[in-house]
Amino acid sequence: MKKVILATLMLFSISASSQSMMEKMKLKKDSIEKAARAKASAVITGTVAPPALTNEEVIKGLKEALTVGTNNSSGMASKLDGFYKNPKIYIPWPEEAKDMKAKLTKMGMSKKIAEFETSLNRAAEEAALKAAPVFIDAITNMSLQDGFAILKGVDTAATNFLRKTTYSPLKEKFMPIVKEAVAKVKVTSYWLPLATAYNKLPGVKKQNPNLDEYVTNKAINGLMLLIADEEIKIRKDPMARVTDLLKKVFGG
């Protein structure tokens, strides 16, 4: 009888131990599945912490964003009416000669004035065709120490830094391109009849603005504005982050 009781107790103990083990395994499985679900949910909702970024990666990402922005901007600006029909970058009559424009308008030369203004914008569009390599060279050689400061700055911080640190050398390299464009679209030929007519008027100060200088400054500033718009897109729109590096740097 004792043997029967002992065997029964042993069986009960084994059964209880087995049940306990199964419960532990089930709990462990549930815990693993719960963790997996939480991780998957975090990935979907975007709450997973992004991989740690180095300053070097951020700098490369900022320069890549400016490069992408430059290519897109020069492509838009170099199209027919890229400057002329974009109010944001349209090149108007030189401000220094506004009195001249007013007097010539009264003399019935509005058509000639319009033709001249069109030629200014055509020159900028022509120059924009060759702008990208010059701008990208400036971006590549841009000395940038604290990438995180710019990354966490305003939405146009990288473009602002580009303008601040590279404008003079950029202008020097871009000027010959503009001169060539000004000659190609014959800006001077539209200007000369206007200047000649105006300078014949009694008591006026003779006008002869440096058109190459004027178009160069306006073209650079116009392209910078477009690059800034592209930077904003990359910062705010995931679809604009067209490379893995851009996704990593701006995805956070």
Residue 128 confidence (pLDDT): 97
* Alpha-carbon span 72 to 61, nearest angstrom: 16
Residue 37 confidence (pLDDT): 62
Residue 9 confidence (pLDDT): 43
Residue 252 confidence (pLDDT): 73
Q: Does 69 lie in the same domain as 178?
A: yes
Q: Does 131 lie in the same domain as 41?
A: no
Q: Does 98 lie in the same domain as 136?
A: yes
* Alpha-carbon span 49 to 34, nearest angstrom: 19
Residue 208 confidence (pLDDT): 86
Residue 40 confidence (pLDDT): 46
Low-confidence ranges of the chain (pLDDT < 50): 4, 6-9, 11-12, 14, 36, 40, 42-44, 46
Q: Does 192 lie in the same domain as 153?
A: yes
Q: Does 96 lie in the same domain as 11?
A: no
How many folded domains does the chain comprise?
A: 2
Give kind and range of the element (H or E) at residue 99.
helix 98-106
Of 88, 163, 166, 169, nearest to 124 (Cα)?
A: 88
Which tokens go with 152? 């966490």
- Reported as a single tens digit per residue, the pLDDT across 96-126 is 999 999 999 999 999 999 999 999 999 999 9
State the number of CA atoms in the 13 A half-sphere of 158 facing the CB.
Answer: 32
Q: Does 149 lie in the same domain as 92?
A: yes
Q: Does 213 lie in the same domain as 94?
A: yes
Q: Does 158 lie in the same domain as 123?
A: yes
Q: Does 31 lie in the same domain as 133?
A: no
Q: Does 123 lie in the same domain as 3?
A: no
Q: What is the pTM of this model?
A: 0.79
**Domain extent for 12:** 1-48
Q: Does 217 lie in the same domain as 141?
A: yes
Q: Does 103 lie in the same domain as 221?
A: yes
Q: Are 117 and 91 a contacting pair, CB within 8 Å?
A: yes
Burial of 193 (0-12, 13-18, 19+ CB in 10 A): middle
Cα dihedral 39, 41, 44, 47 sign:
negative
Give the residue carrying structure tokens 């912490």: 49
Residue 212 confidence (pLDDT): 97
